Amino acid sequence: MSNQKVKFIDLGRIKYKEAWDYQTRLHNELKDIKKYNLSQEEKSNYKNQNHYLLFCEHPHVYTLGKSGSMDNLLLNEKELVEKEIDFFPINRGGDITYHGPGQIVGYPILDLDLFFNDIHQYVRIIEEAIILTLKEYQIEGGRIEGMSGVWLEKDNKGPKRKICAVGIHLSRWVTMHGFAFNVNTDLNLFNNIIPCGIVDDDKTVTSLAFELNQSSVNVEEVKNKVKKHLSQLMSFDLY
Protein backbone atom coordinates (compact mmCIF):
# COMPACT_ATOMS: atom_id res chain seq x y z
CA MET A 1 0.00 0.00 0.00
CA SER A 2 1.47 3.34 -1.05
CA ASN A 3 1.88 6.25 1.34
CA GLN A 4 -0.84 8.87 1.67
CA LYS A 5 -0.09 12.19 -0.03
CA VAL A 6 -0.12 15.29 2.16
CA LYS A 7 -0.03 18.83 0.79
CA PHE A 8 2.30 21.13 2.70
CA ILE A 9 1.32 24.79 2.96
CA ASP A 10 3.35 27.42 4.79
CA LEU A 11 0.93 30.22 5.67
CA GLY A 12 3.69 32.48 7.00
CA ARG A 13 2.61 34.97 9.68
CA ILE A 14 -1.16 34.92 9.88
CA LYS A 15 -3.70 36.06 12.46
CA TYR A 16 -4.99 33.23 14.60
CA LYS A 17 -8.63 33.67 13.54
CA GLU A 18 -7.72 33.60 9.85
CA ALA A 19 -5.72 30.39 10.30
CA TRP A 20 -8.53 28.86 12.36
CA ASP A 21 -11.08 29.67 9.62
CA TYR A 22 -8.77 28.19 6.98
CA GLN A 23 -8.22 25.04 9.06
CA THR A 24 -11.97 24.70 9.53
CA ARG A 25 -12.61 24.97 5.79
CA LEU A 26 -10.05 22.25 5.03
CA HIS A 27 -11.34 20.12 7.91
CA ASN A 28 -14.87 20.31 6.51
CA GLU A 29 -13.57 19.52 3.02
CA LEU A 30 -12.04 16.26 4.26
CA LYS A 31 -15.21 15.33 6.14
CA ASP A 32 -17.34 16.04 3.05
CA ILE A 33 -15.15 13.80 0.88
CA LYS A 34 -15.33 11.11 3.54
CA LYS A 35 -19.12 11.37 3.72
CA TYR A 36 -19.38 11.16 -0.07
CA ASN A 37 -17.15 8.08 -0.26
CA LEU A 38 -19.16 6.32 2.45
CA SER A 39 -22.30 6.89 0.39
CA GLN A 40 -20.83 5.08 -2.64
CA GLU A 41 -21.39 1.38 -3.15
CA GLU A 42 -18.48 1.03 -5.57
CA LYS A 43 -14.94 1.99 -4.57
CA SER A 44 -14.33 2.98 -8.17
CA ASN A 45 -16.56 5.98 -7.50
CA TYR A 46 -14.51 7.18 -4.52
CA LYS A 47 -12.92 10.60 -4.56
CA ASN A 48 -9.30 10.81 -3.48
CA GLN A 49 -9.05 12.07 0.08
CA ASN A 50 -7.03 15.22 0.65
CA HIS A 51 -4.66 15.73 3.57
CA TYR A 52 -2.82 18.91 4.58
CA LEU A 53 0.06 19.97 6.79
CA LEU A 54 -0.06 23.68 7.58
CA PHE A 55 2.82 25.58 9.17
CA CYS A 56 2.46 29.17 10.31
CA GLU A 57 3.43 31.80 12.84
CA HIS A 58 0.86 33.88 14.70
CA PRO A 59 0.94 37.42 16.07
CA HIS A 60 0.63 37.42 19.88
CA VAL A 61 -2.37 35.34 20.96
CA TYR A 62 -3.52 33.24 23.90
CA THR A 63 -5.79 30.28 23.17
CA LEU A 64 -7.83 28.37 25.73
CA GLY A 65 -8.75 24.72 25.12
CA LYS A 66 -12.22 23.35 25.85
CA SER A 67 -11.07 21.78 29.14
CA GLY A 68 -9.19 24.90 30.26
CA SER A 69 -9.94 27.48 32.92
CA MET A 70 -10.20 31.26 32.43
CA ASP A 71 -8.41 31.55 35.78
CA ASN A 72 -5.21 30.61 33.93
CA LEU A 73 -5.32 33.86 31.92
CA LEU A 74 -3.70 36.44 34.19
CA LEU A 75 -4.67 39.51 32.12
CA ASN A 76 -8.04 41.22 31.90
CA GLU A 77 -9.65 42.38 28.65
CA LYS A 78 -8.24 45.91 28.95
CA GLU A 79 -4.70 44.61 29.52
CA LEU A 80 -4.98 42.31 26.49
CA VAL A 81 -5.93 45.30 24.34
CA GLU A 82 -3.10 47.44 25.75
CA LYS A 83 -0.55 44.70 25.06
CA GLU A 84 -2.07 43.99 21.60
CA ILE A 85 -2.61 40.32 22.41
CA ASP A 86 -5.60 38.42 20.99
CA PHE A 87 -7.49 35.78 22.98
CA PHE A 88 -9.62 32.86 21.72
CA PRO A 89 -11.46 30.02 23.47
CA ILE A 90 -11.21 27.11 21.00
CA ASN A 91 -12.27 23.48 20.51
CA ARG A 92 -8.93 21.68 20.90
CA GLY A 93 -7.97 19.68 23.96
CA GLY A 94 -5.73 21.10 26.67
CA ASP A 95 -5.72 24.33 28.63
CA ILE A 96 -4.26 27.77 27.85
CA THR A 97 -1.18 28.41 25.76
CA TYR A 98 0.58 31.21 23.91
CA HIS A 99 1.32 31.56 20.21
CA GLY A 100 3.54 34.26 18.78
CA PRO A 101 6.49 35.25 16.62
CA GLY A 102 9.43 32.85 16.63
CA GLN A 103 7.21 29.81 17.14
CA ILE A 104 6.50 27.05 14.62
CA VAL A 105 2.80 26.26 14.77
CA GLY A 106 1.81 23.10 12.91
CA TYR A 107 -1.72 22.12 11.93
CA PRO A 108 -2.00 18.65 10.35
CA ILE A 109 -5.42 18.17 8.71
CA LEU A 110 -5.50 14.40 8.23
CA ASP A 111 -8.12 11.70 7.82
CA LEU A 112 -6.79 9.24 10.39
CA ASP A 113 -9.03 6.49 9.00
CA LEU A 114 -6.44 6.27 6.22
CA PHE A 115 -3.57 5.99 8.72
CA PHE A 116 -4.69 4.43 12.02
CA ASN A 117 -7.52 4.88 14.52
CA ASP A 118 -5.63 5.75 17.67
CA ILE A 119 -5.68 9.30 19.00
CA HIS A 120 -2.99 8.58 21.59
CA GLN A 121 -0.67 7.16 18.93
CA TYR A 122 -1.24 10.29 16.86
CA VAL A 123 -0.29 12.61 19.74
CA ARG A 124 2.77 10.48 20.54
CA ILE A 125 3.89 10.71 16.90
CA ILE A 126 3.66 14.51 16.92
CA GLU A 127 5.70 14.55 20.12
CA GLU A 128 8.23 12.10 18.68
CA ALA A 129 8.75 14.29 15.59
CA ILE A 130 9.74 17.17 17.89
CA ILE A 131 11.91 14.89 20.06
CA LEU A 132 13.79 13.68 16.97
CA THR A 133 14.19 17.27 15.76
CA LEU A 134 15.67 18.28 19.12
CA LYS A 135 18.07 15.33 18.94
CA GLU A 136 19.52 16.83 15.76
CA TYR A 137 20.52 19.82 17.92
CA GLN A 138 21.97 17.52 20.62
CA ILE A 139 19.04 18.25 22.94
CA GLU A 140 17.26 15.39 24.70
CA GLY A 141 13.52 15.90 24.72
CA GLY A 142 11.01 13.65 26.38
CA ARG A 143 7.54 13.30 27.87
CA ILE A 144 5.93 13.60 31.29
CA GLU A 145 3.33 10.95 32.04
CA GLY A 146 -0.17 12.37 32.01
CA MET A 147 0.86 15.54 30.17
CA SER A 148 0.98 16.17 26.45
CA GLY A 149 3.81 17.98 24.70
CA VAL A 150 7.59 17.73 24.72
CA TRP A 151 9.66 18.47 27.81
CA LEU A 152 13.30 18.81 28.82
CA GLU A 153 14.55 17.40 32.09
CA LYS A 154 15.69 19.53 35.02
CA ASP A 155 19.35 20.55 34.70
CA ASN A 156 21.61 23.57 35.18
CA LYS A 157 19.40 25.62 32.83
CA GLY A 158 16.36 25.27 35.07
CA PRO A 159 13.52 22.97 36.16
CA LYS A 160 11.58 20.72 33.80
CA ARG A 161 10.81 22.82 30.74
CA LYS A 162 8.12 22.54 28.07
CA ILE A 163 9.40 23.33 24.61
CA CYS A 164 6.43 22.19 22.52
CA ALA A 165 2.71 22.17 23.31
CA VAL A 166 0.33 19.72 21.63
CA GLY A 167 -3.45 20.11 21.44
CA ILE A 168 -5.71 18.49 18.84
CA HIS A 169 -9.35 18.15 17.86
CA LEU A 170 -10.92 15.19 16.05
CA SER A 171 -14.23 14.94 14.23
CA ARG A 172 -15.06 11.77 12.26
CA TRP A 173 -11.37 10.89 12.70
CA VAL A 174 -10.32 14.04 10.83
CA THR A 175 -7.74 16.09 12.76
CA MET A 176 -7.23 19.80 13.26
CA HIS A 177 -5.12 22.02 15.53
CA GLY A 178 -1.74 20.49 16.37
CA PHE A 179 1.46 21.72 17.97
CA ALA A 180 3.37 24.87 18.90
CA PHE A 181 7.17 24.51 18.97
CA ASN A 182 9.07 27.32 20.70
CA VAL A 183 12.07 28.11 18.51
CA ASN A 184 12.85 31.83 18.90
CA THR A 185 9.83 32.59 21.08
CA ASP A 186 9.85 35.48 23.58
CA LEU A 187 9.31 33.44 26.75
CA ASN A 188 8.23 36.52 28.72
CA LEU A 189 4.81 36.26 27.06
CA PHE A 190 4.16 33.07 29.04
CA ASN A 191 4.29 35.13 32.25
CA ASN A 192 0.77 36.43 31.54
CA ILE A 193 -0.75 32.94 31.76
CA ILE A 194 -0.44 29.71 33.71
CA PRO A 195 0.80 27.69 30.71
CA CYS A 196 -1.35 24.59 30.16
CA GLY A 197 -2.78 25.18 33.64
CA ILE A 198 0.39 23.81 35.25
CA VAL A 199 1.13 25.57 38.54
CA ASP A 200 4.10 23.45 39.71
CA ASP A 201 7.15 25.50 40.67
CA ASP A 202 9.35 22.78 39.19
CA LYS A 203 8.01 23.28 35.64
CA THR A 204 8.42 26.14 33.18
CA VAL A 205 8.69 26.82 29.43
CA THR A 206 11.68 27.15 27.15
CA SER A 207 12.72 27.64 23.53
CA LEU A 208 15.25 26.09 21.19
CA ALA A 209 17.21 29.35 21.01
CA PHE A 210 17.44 29.52 24.82
CA GLU A 211 18.61 25.92 25.09
CA LEU A 212 21.28 26.49 22.43
CA ASN A 213 22.41 29.80 23.99
CA GLN A 214 21.71 31.57 20.70
CA SER A 215 19.91 34.82 20.01
CA SER A 216 18.01 33.07 17.21
CA VAL A 217 17.86 29.78 15.33
CA ASN A 218 17.24 29.29 11.61
CA VAL A 219 13.49 28.63 11.62
CA GLU A 220 13.37 27.31 8.05
CA GLU A 221 15.98 24.71 8.95
CA VAL A 222 13.91 23.62 11.95
CA LYS A 223 10.74 23.45 9.85
CA ASN A 224 12.43 21.12 7.37
CA LYS A 225 13.54 18.80 10.15
CA VAL A 226 10.06 18.67 11.70
CA LYS A 227 8.47 17.99 8.30
CA LYS A 228 10.96 15.19 7.64
CA HIS A 229 10.29 13.44 10.93
CA LEU A 230 6.51 13.85 10.77
CA SER A 231 6.33 12.42 7.26
CA GLN A 232 8.56 9.48 8.18
CA LEU A 233 6.72 8.66 11.40
CA MET A 234 3.26 8.98 9.80
CA SER A 235 4.39 7.31 6.55
CA PHE A 236 3.11 10.05 4.26
CA ASP A 237 4.65 11.86 1.30
CA LEU A 238 4.64 15.65 1.26
CA TYR A 239 4.09 17.58 -1.93
Q: Looking at the annotation, which residues are catalytic?
A: 196
The number of angstroms, rounded, from the C-alpha of 99 to the middle of its chain's C-alpha atoms is: 10
